[in-house]
Amino acid sequence: MRTAKVLLAMILVSSLMARVRWVNPASNTADYRLTKKVVLGGDGGWDYFEVDPTTSHVFIPRGDHILVVDSSGTQLTDIPNAHDSHAIVFAPELKRAFLSADASVAVLDMDKMQVTHTIALPGKDPDAILYDSSVNRVFTFNGGGTKDATAIDVATEKIAGSIALGGKPETAQADGAGNIYVNIEDKSQIIAFDSKTLKVQHTWPLAPCKDPAGMAIDVEHKRLFVGCRNQLMAVVDYTNGKVVATVPIGKGVDANRFDPATGLAFASCNDGTIAVAHQDSPDKYSVVQTITTQRGARTMALDTNGHIVYTVTAEFEPPPPATPQNPHPWPKVISKTFTLLIYGQ
């Protein structure tokens, strides 16, 4: 009888702890407000940008240069020779950053704040880029005709191999345990592969998600947050590939972020919104805020130390008329209007 009572007590304590675990100290609300709007100006396009986890400085690749600002949006430097860069990833322990560029990866010395050299990727069209510290490799995700990923050994800066993905890769995340997950945009799939052996382990359908774009990761609870162009953010259990939840978001999502300290997942959209969902449990999410940004602010960065959200956009001319060859023409950016928007709680 005593044993039964002890077991019952243990079960009750475990149940209580499970409930307490999901009482987020920040509560299941969000109150992000625009704290600063900075017209940075300059020319050049933009895509993915990131916060340096060591300094909290924001690095914004803009084609042939990299704009660096502090947390208030004050420009610190403008790094030249970026070689048509698209995205940046940091390797803090190496004091380097890597940028996907024109048929290459550019290497940025973080002490000198200079692009020192490039690693050639002949015939590749790298877009997203990822660093997996568990295997000391940088991965580029290549669209164009190759539809694959390239692994680069950061010690030797030699190509370690490639992974055929069978579709157009968009964004990827690493779990720190030797697994990488990548969105396949044109097939609405996630492919999981081993970052050491470079072997594909799983191919998972994402229905009801269509045209996946951004992706964020929650390593503790083994969840991926996938931004879908049919106005959903899909939450995926990456132990089995199942879509466990969806939340509504705006149009034209291009980036997702997750803040483990607050339990908030973000989806930034081209229509001028950022959807914010709270993780009530690993399989349950509540939309707690829709941040109004500005048209064109499709991508974002998150400083998880200060819980600051950044997004960028510009002013645009009216779009040209649609044609059968180009049914969704992009409007032209008005020169010198590139803008950084900073949001805090």
The pLDDT of residue 330 is above 50: yes
The pLDDT of residue 253 is above 80: yes
Q: 152: alpha, beta or left, given left = phi > 0 and alpha = psi -120 to 50?
A: beta
Query: If you write DSSP's letter for every residue of 29-77 in order, what string do you get?
Result: ----EEEEEEE----------EE-TTT--EEEE-BS-EEEE-TT--EEE
The pLDDT of residue 12 is above 70: no
The pLDDT of residue 26 is above 80: no
pLDDT of residue 326: 86
User: What percent of the chain clears pLDDT 90, i.e. is strictly above it?
Assistant: 84
What single DSSP character describes residue 85? B
pLDDT of residue 27: 59
Q: What is the pLDDT of residues 263-278, one digit of tens each?
A: 999 999 999 999 999 9
Rounded Cα distance between 242 and 222, Å, is 11
pLDDT of residue 21: 40
The pLDDT of residue 149 is above 60: yes
The pLDDT of residue 4 is above 50: no
H or E stretch at 159: strand 158-164
The pLDDT of residue 211 is above 90: yes
